[in-house]
Homo-oligomer: A and B are copies of this chain.
Amino acid sequence: MKTPFVQRRRALLSRLGESRGKSRIDSLLITRPANWYYLTGFTGDSGALVVSRRGTTLITDGRFTSQAREETSGVRIVEQSRSLVAAVGEFLKGAGRGRVGFDPSHVTVGQLSSMRKAAGTRVGWAPSVGRVEALRSRKDAQELATMRRAAVLAGKVLEGALKLLKPGVRELEIAAEIEYQMRQLGATGPAFETIVAFGERSAYPHARAGAKRLRKNELVVLDLGAILAHYCSDITRTVVVGRASTKIRQWHQAVQEARAAAVGTVKAGASCGEVDAAARTVLAAHHLDRYFVHSTGHGLGLEVHEDPRVAKGQKQTLVPGNVITIEPGVYVPGVGGIRIEDDVVVHASNTEVLTRISRDLIEI
């Protein structure tokens, strides 16, 4: 099977070639694991990749060199002898790599300082934001096929977990079962720490699963994602074990409507801010907008949070190949929270929802 990596490096180089003047770049330094995986297939978690017209070089330590040789093709592997940053600096110096682009949001102040020192004054440094992320945000057909499977898998696991919800179970037990079942279905693991929140704890959007036991008539928020063949899914459902109060039903209905409005706004050419506003406007009509304390969604792919951000005021427009979450919620301190989250693909002429299990307020 032809791997997509060479083609992606070519696409990156072609974009770098378009840079002119002060933003001209001869090499791009890549220090984020998801970015180097995307460009080379290397799955190690320590290293640095330098991409330039003169070739692609991966600098890593002795734990990863054999693995890197096996996983990559057309990539020169350099083993660092001391620290990674010193090795990167020395490589750039020796290679006469001219102006090096680096992403200021991935490189620490300390790393840049050490690399500059090791590279010497003949290497220039230019901030270059989100070059690989921009490519990654437009998924190709093969990536989308994988993400469909990852989303279906997450839905199955969630449906399975609902059957385990009985008064007396602990949040942690449900989280353990969820991650175990993911793997039984072929996932390499969870895309993030699985959220299982009962009762009042559901009012914390990012609650850690804890020792709390489920009581009758409590809200349950399940937020989980699986990594399947490197790609993430992310799904949330909210249910009640017992009977929901009228207020909870109304809130759930409002979140359902907000989700539908946001999904309805997703299309190529729409701005991320518009999608966010669609959810927020519905919640405002229900006087619940002040309880919606986070953004409507985020890009999804090799990482569980990636471009584009679907947040208030975001001007970035959606393009075909984007995969985003839509996850409005309402969180009332001391009472509980409700969130419904789906994964959505932007196509040229339609929108595809990957997570299709029921969104109703199930009363178990």
Point out residues on A near B: beta carbons under 8 Å: 43-45, 61-67, 102-113, 127, 129, 172-173, 175-176, 179-180, 183-184, 188-189, 193, 203-210, 293-294, 331, 333
Contacts and interface: CB of A to CB of B under 8 A. Distances in A.
Contact of A63 (B66, B113, B206): B206
A66 B180 contact: no
A344 to B, nearest CB: 21
A180 B181 CA distance: 10
A364 B280 CA distance: 59
23 contacts: A44-B206, A64-B204, A64-B206, A66-B203, A66-B331, A67-B204, A104-B109, A104-B110, A104-B113, A105-B111, A106-B108, A108-B108, A108-B109, A109-B109, A109-B127, A110-B127, A172-B183, A172-B188, A173-B183, A175-B189, A176-B180, A180-B180, A189-B193
The 6 closest A-B pairs by CB, nearest first: A62-B293, A104-B110, A176-B183, A104-B109, A105-B110, A63-B205
Contacts of A209: 188
A44 B203 CA distance: 14
Nearest to A71: B204
Nearest to A206: B63
A105 B104 contact: no
B206 A188 contact: no
A293 B63 CA distance: 6
A1 to B, nearest CB: 16
Contacts of A66: 203-204, 331, 333
A169 B210 CA distance: 31
Given A61-B294, A184-B176, A293-B62, A45 B105 contact: no
A104 B210 CA distance: 34
Contacts of A204: 63-64, 66-67
Determine which residue in A43, A62, A102 has the highest number of CB atoms from chain B within 10 A of its CB, and name it: A62
Contacts of A176: 179-180, 183-184
A102 B108 CA distance: 11
A188 B203 contact: no
